Amino acid sequence: MKRIYAALFSVGLAFSVSAEVQDVIYTYANDDLGYWGKGKAETIDVAMRINNPGLAGKKITSVKALINATEGISDVSVWLTKELKLENKVNVPDIVSVSVTPVSTEYNGIEGVGVLTATFAEPYELTEEPVYVGYSLTVDAATDNNTKYPLWLSSAQNDEGLYLHMTRSVLKWKNYFPTLGAVAPIYVTLTGEFPDYAVSINNVNEAYSEIGQPYRAVATLSNVGAATIESLEYSYEVAGQTRQGAVNLDTPLTPDLVNSKNVDLVFDGIDELGDTEVTVTLNKVNGQENTLPSPVTFTTHVKPFVPVTRPLMEEYTGTWCGWCTRGWMALELIREWYPESVVSIAYHNGDPMEVTSSFAVSVSGFPGATINRGGVIDPYYGTGNGAADFSVQYDLENAMSVFAPGDINVDAMYSEDGKTIIVKSYSRFVESYDATPYKVGYMLIADNLSDPSWRQNNSYAQYKNNPTYIGTYLETLCNWPASVSDLVFNDVAIDVSGMMGVNGSVPDAVESSVIYEHEYSYDISDNKLVRDGAELHVMAFLVDKQTGRVVNANKTAVASYVGVGETLGETVRPVSTVYYDLMGRRVEEPSKGIFIEVQKMSDGTQISHKVMKK
């Protein structure tokens, strides 16, 4: 998609301070636009979806859309529909369709921008159900750039922003945003009253809670009122009882028709195992009555305990690989942002830090990465394909939110002669199994590795002062030389025995909540990467025997030998306690809410669990 920067529309949400009828523009697009197409003569149907229950009662009065082709096309229409459907390969809107004539206009020096405009004789009133807004056109002959690439698209990011059907290229309706990472520049005029206090709950994710313990559930909220919201009060019904909750927002909820925000709501514990339905109603915002209470029901899965989920991030790199410096940067940021919430390891290839060329997954290019041994992604951008700076953070946070079937903890200690590392893992599972599907895996990793002869190639050196990277974390790499000799490497795999999981590390039959110990060891007497200044850690993880996917992970520093007659897990005491929020960010003075408490022990190990602060 070729991009041109132009302010084709100045789109904003202007609210008054009291409820009155007014017009606002609803769009997912920004002003970074470019043309796109498949280069074929065919009929093209394009849509966006409005999926916000808080807009119920507002009316769609008109629609504008931008296209590239204004000549050589026919059968142009703008339409609304509740469902995207085809009959004999033809799009059939079920609300309204209006034939329009594209107008070629110059915007900010760009010639030939096509504008489609439709005003509906009878405005359509939105309900809580979603509605698609779209347009259709037929390319009569693809003979020039306008007809080969008849659509304008915007680089804005929204999963509801681009649905596509093309009679020769995309034969069924498809959400095309994941494919292109772009949205359709469609602008919808909404008319209605926008009161000060109007916050809707669009959805509440299913939640997991430990029996009898307070828990959180993630609610997706939309603020379609005029006021900025700083506090919420809600009631909820569970097992025939009505209870109350309240939360002060760390980040205020500003007025925004398009974008929603996830907010953690806290609920009292449930005293019975199993699945329980909870109905929550948002009653007050900023202490005032909410005009969109919108009750929503979700399910809470009550378990004997709820493990802390720590994803395993495995990165594939090499000092010969110039682009691998962004993988190095990603791991450094993960260590800073998620020190207790993500377990990271880097496998080196074709350089002095290589210990294996056989990985748990197939890797065809460098840099690469996996999270919990899923598909290969970029270590820095994740699945975002460059859409946002350090966007792998969103993949990691999604992985953290997944319920883990078990806990894994690990201790590690040097032997008396310093030649062996003795490891003990402690696993426990939420459910009982007659034949457990899991086993424990191990790997030895090192921090603070450096050698002047290990020269890391850096392809970003050619982009110094390039606007693409200015203001991003990668700007640092652009200021490095093309070959870096003093780089410090962390999270380096130095022994991968145990990488695929160890048979017998978990008994065949396990009982819920019972802790199972397993012992493992590493001979480090001849390991070339155990060198002065290196700091060693052991990671342990639970791996699914059938799929090979990792379901939870943890790591610990290797502790000094504690003396004759003493063993791991004994004669140790807490020496410090720190707290992190549920995204792994350190909290200096935790107030109300759920946090991860991490205790550093006198033997160098650590113990972590969720706590509720009241």
Is the pLDDT score of 548 beyond 50? Answer: yes
Dihedral sign of CA atoms 280, 286, 290, 294 in order:
negative
DSSP letter for 509, please. S
To the nearest 10 degrees (0 to 180), the angle between helices 392-400 and 325-337 is 40
The yes-or-no verdict on residue 44 having pLDDT over 60 is: yes
Output the pLDDT for position 107: 63
Q: Which domains does the chain have, with CATH numbers?
A: 2-193 (2.60.120), 199-303 (2.60.40.10), 312-613 (no CATH)
Distance, CA of 147 to CA of 154 (rounded, Å): 18
The pair of structure tokens assigned to 30 is 């920004």
The whole-number pLDDT of residue 13 equals: 42
Average pLDDT over residues 182-206: 91
> Which range has the worst mean pLDDT, 17-26, 490-499, 527-536?
17-26
Instruction: Please state, in angstroms and rounded to a whole number, the distance separating the CA atoms of residues 517 and 424.
Output: 7
pLDDT tens by residue, 53-72: 888 999 999 999 999 999 99
* Predicted pLDDT of residue 576: 67
Say if CB 204 and CB 262 are below 8 A apart.
Answer: no
Segment among 134-148, 180-194, 434-448, 586-600 with least mean pLDDT:
586-600
Per-residue confidence band for 7, with pLDDT thresholds at 50, 70 and 90: very low
Backbone dihedral angles phi then psi of residue 529, each to the nearest 5 degrees: -95, 0
Cα 345 to Cα 442: distance, rounded to the nearest angstrom? 12
Expressed in percent and rounded to 5, the helix, strand and coil fractions of the chain are 5, 45, 45
563 pLDDT above the threshold of 60: no
Q: Which residue is associated with the tokens 């342990």?
A: 540
- Helix runs in 380-506, H state only: 392-400, 475-478
d(CA 1, CA 34): 6
Q: What is the pLDDT of residue 260?
A: 84
pLDDT at residue 574, rounded to an integer: 60
Q: Are 492 and 445 in contact (CB under 8 A)?
A: yes
| Residues with Cβ within 8 Å of residue 567, at least 6 apart in sequence | none
Element (H, E) at 446: strand 438-447
Q: Report how far residue 331's alpha carbon sits from residue 347's, in angstroms, rounded to the nearest whole number.
A: 12
Task: Tokens for 89, please give them.
Answer: 């390969």
pLDDT value for 5: 28
Specify the higher pLDDT residue, 128 or 325: 325
d(C-alpha 480, C-alpha 367), whole Å: 18
| Burial degree of 171 (CB within 10 A; 0-12, 13-18, 19+) | exposed
pLDDT category at 32 given cuts 50, 70, 90 is confident
Q: What are residue 219's DSSP bridge partners?
A: 204, 263
Contacts 24+ apart (CB under 8 A), 381-387: 385/181, 387/157, 387/181
* Element holding 552 (H helix, E strand): strand 550-557
What is the tens place of the pLDDT at every residue in 110-140? 777 899 999 999 999 999 899 999 999 999 9
Question: What average pLDDT score do residues 78-105 get?
Answer: 95
330 sits in which H/E element: helix 325-337
Predicted local distance difference test score (pLDDT) of residue 109: 63
Encoded tokens for 241: 């009882």
* pLDDT reported for residue 108: 57
Write down the mean pLDDT value for the chain: 88
Select, from the ranges 152-156, 268-272, 586-590, the one with the highest average predicted confidence (pLDDT). 268-272
CA distances from 590 to 70, 595, 599 (A): 59, 8, 15
Give one word for 543, left, alpha or beta, with left for phi > 0 and alpha for psi -120 to 50.
beta
Q: What is the mean pLDDT of residues 147-174?
A: 92
Per the CB < 8 A criterion, the answer to whether 279 and 297 are in contact is yes
Task: Report strand pairing: 312-317 vs 343-348.
Answer: parallel
At residue 612 the predicted structure's pLDDT band, cuts being 50, 70 and 90, is low
Rounded-to-integer distance, Cα 166 and Cα 41, Å: 10
Which residue in 139, 159, 203, 604 sits closest to 384, CA to CA?
159
What pLDDT score was predicted for residue 386? 54
Q: Are 59 and 94 in contact (CB under 8 A)?
A: no
Q: Please check the confidence at residue 369 and state whether its pLDDT lies above 50.
A: yes
Q: Could you read off the pLDDT of 284-305 as tens digits, one per residue?
A: 999 999 998 889 999 999 999 9
How many H helices and E strands in the chain?
Answer: 5, 41
Burial 186-205 (b: 16+ CB within 10 A, else e): bbbbbebebbbbbbbbbebe
- Dist. CA 472–CA 286, nearest whole Å: 35
Q: State the pLDDT confidence band at 33, using cuts at 50, 70 and 90.
A: confident
Pairing of strands 456-457, 483-484: antiparallel
- What span, in angstroms and rounded, lies between the C-alpha atoms of 132 and 50? 6
Give the pLDDT of residue 3: 32
Within its chain, how far is the Cα of 382 from the centroid?
A: 9
Least confident of 153-162, 388-397, 603-612: 603-612
Consecutive H or E run containing 475: helix 475-478
User: Residue 1: pLDDT above 90?
Assistant: no
- Taking a C-beta distance cutoff of 8 angstroms, is the pair 136, 43 a contact? yes
pLDDT value for 116: 96
Q: In sequence order, what are the residues at sequence separation of 6 or more whose Cβ sits closer than 8 angstroms to the Cβ of residue 402?
A: 309
Cα 16 to Cα 189, 226, 232, distances in angstroms: 17, 6, 22
